[in-house]
Structure 1
Amino acid sequence: MNNKRKIIIDTDPGIDDAIAIAIALFSEELDVKLISTVVGNVSLDLVTENTLKLLTFFGKNVPVAKGSKEPLFQKFEDATNVHGVSGMDGYDFGEPNRSNLLEEHSVNAMRRTILESETPITIVAIGPLTNIALLLKMYPEVKNNIDEIVFMGGSLTRGNKTVMGEFNIASDPEAAKIVFSSGVNLVMAGLDVGLKALVYPEDSQIIKTFGKTGDMMYSLFQKYRGGSFKTGLKMYDSCAIAYLLCPEMYELTDTFIDVETQSNLTLGCTIVDLKGYLKKAPNAKVCTDISPKIFKEWFMKSIKKCI
């Protein structure tokens, strides 16, 4: 019997997405049933191509489904300044195998995967929440077979896309608002813990020795602008996978979260009510802090398994 935790990854690769996906694919505790792609770091076509390249590189046969090509209401703005024009600049993956690319929209593929699963599915969202919002609004029946949604996004303080908005949430704040009000179990691993989840130069040098995988990751790291190759690269998206595999690295609290969708000044700001000012029932667990030491040990061990 397969006792692995069944997950769907919704993603927009992205260099830090690529690392998180790799860790999930090689984890002995996770069973990746579907990878859903969403516009975010780069266009939908590019993030889908990047996903297929990663699966081909690692020799993994996981179904892939293309999702939303634009946010619900906002204008799409990519993050090529961080990840490069392709979204995964720095390494020549070659042509991917496209045989596992499904014809159906990822929202439909997620619905089918969730409803067909004998055990509840966990959704790991490491891009904008567009696909997840559409899934929950179009097919509310899936909620009964979703264990939880673990997402990398949001911030307890300030942003990295706008003054107060973290990239994934600020890219589609209306979608995030739908997810926050869905009633599904939510876990937020946000910008604050991502800023402390660092890969330092000495770590990159060790990773470089991990065969073909190490060479690929080292090459991507040299082009990644989430932090600095010299002072530490921020592994934001790996924080969501880390919550599933090593939750003891986090400090957690139950609280109420909402997102600003009206103000031009604070659009995409996550309102994380740690003090209970709004007097609303908690709708999420929030990672309020992380142990950088435990993260580093876990990360390096996890990457070593990806060979």
Structure 2
Amino acid sequence: MIPKPCIIDCDPGTDDAIALWLALASPELDVRLVTVAGGNVGLARTTANARAVVGLTGRAVPVVAGAERSLLADFRAEPAVHGSDGLGGVALPEGPPLAPGIAADAIRAELRAAAPHSVTVIGLGPATNLALAFATEPALADRVAEIVLMSGAWSEGNITPAAEFNAWNDPEALAVLLNLGRPLAIATLDLTAQAFVTPDLVARLAQRPGGACWQAALAILRALPASKRFGHRGFPLHDPCAVAWAIAPGLFGARPAHAEMDLAPGPSRGRTVIDRWGRLGRAPNLTLLETLDAPAFFALLAERVAALP
């Protein structure tokens, strides 16, 4: 197996942290760059968290800071979910310093050095950094093998009735990626709801021994609040689903679909209008992840992250 060169753009964030550990623990991926936006809790915290998460693995992967706001507005943070520190109050040792530069520049540099159709790009937050990179040098899209995003919903949103958090925070940036013309897979809220975490599940996962990364991941899972959307029974684990598609696509059922963004002002702004059944007669522009083998997903997550230092 030849690992896939990989760029991860994120905004840690509790589920981002677990997704990063899953990616860094997986031999299918050669994570070469982590870039950070200020989505979940502001750029100062998200960059500190990304450094700490990567540092705990002992891997020398550069972490580069990026956008502190969306293309057109400020990000809206979500401390009620992630805590004021972004990690649910779980303290990690401080990580290595940020690598110099700006995220969009670092993404472009990594892609310029890559072979055509070789790099997997995983986006776990607002798509601002990725959109800036591709909008300013569109030819670099040729270096991309696939873009995998945790974003959007075909039904109800989680930040507004219409929109998912990442999509709503920078819908113009997501529109750039939808129109890039490269293979794109998307894990929506409808998919990530199937990666549902309950206290019983966490108790079962905790029976597995593991290193500091695994213990921190379990602490984060214990700290996350139960979701009102799911009757306070538990919560969906969003971002690791995107990483799981990149390393184990057999866990998913998927279909081609067409999606476009609602960019108008008003209550539907940020909605991902996803045509699952071809009603608009438009060519598919993404692979829509629809179903997840949840037991196998959590088994993979536990196996990989528990093996980290």
TM-score exceeds 0.5: yes
Any conservation in 2 of the 1:38–1:44 contact (CA below 8 Å)? yes
For the residue of structure 1 that corresponds to 2:12, the secondary structure is coil
Any conservation in 2 of the 1:259–1:270 contact (CA below 8 Å)? yes
Q: Displacement of 1:232 after TM fit?
A: 3.1
For the residue of structure 2 that corresponds to 1:240, the secondary structure is helix
How far apart, CA to CA, are the structure 2 residues paired with 1:261 and 1:123?
24
**Number of aligned residues:** 304
TM-score (norm 1): 0.93
What's 1:154 paired with?
152
Q: Displacement of 1:226 after TM fit?
A: 6.0
How far apart, CA to CA, are the structure 2 residues paired with 1:142 and 1:240?
22
Any conservation in 2 of the 1:199–1:296 contact (CA below 8 Å)? no
What's 1:74 paired with?
73
Q: Displacement of 1:206 after TM fit?
A: 4.2
What's 1:124 paired with?
122
For the residue of structure 1 that corresponds to 2:46, the secondary structure is helix
What's 1:84 paired with?
83
Segments of 5+ residues of structure 1 without an aligned counterpart are: none
The code of the aligned residue for 1:227 comes to S
What's 1:196 paired with?
194
What's 1:182 paired with?
180
Instruction: Note the 1:167-246 alignment, pairs <5 A.
Output: 167-208=165-206, 209-225=209-225, 227=227, 231-246=233-248
What's 2:20 paired with?
21
Segments of 5+ residues of structure 2 without an aligned counterpart are: none
Q: Displacement of 1:300 after TM fit?
A: 2.4
Q: Displacement of 1:154 after TM fit?
A: 0.6
Q: Displacement of 1:244 after TM fit?
A: 1.2
TM-score (norm 2): 0.93
Task: Kindly provide the CA deviation profile for residues 2-59 of structure 1, in whole angstroms up to 9, marking residues without a partner as x.
Answer: 8211110000000000000001111111100000001210111211110111122121
**Pairwise CA RMSD:** 1.9
What's 1:8 paired with?
7
Task: Kindly provide the CA deviation profile for residues 232-286 of structure 1, in whole angstroms up to 9, marking residues without a partner as x.
Answer: 3321000001101221121111111001010402111111111222221111110
Deviates more, 1:239-248 or 1:14-23: 239-248
What's 2:256 paired with?
254
Any conservation in 2 of the 1:148–1:187 contact (CA below 8 Å)? yes
What's 1:137 paired with?
135
Task: Kindly provide the CA deviation profile for residues 209-250 of structure 1, in whole angstroms up to 9, marking residues without a partner as x.
Answer: 424333212222232236389833321000001101221121
The code of the aligned residue for 1:264 comes to G
What's 2:42 paired with?
43
How far apart, CA to CA, are the structure 2 residues paired with 1:94 and 1:274?
44
Q: Displacement of 1:294 after TM fit?
A: 2.5
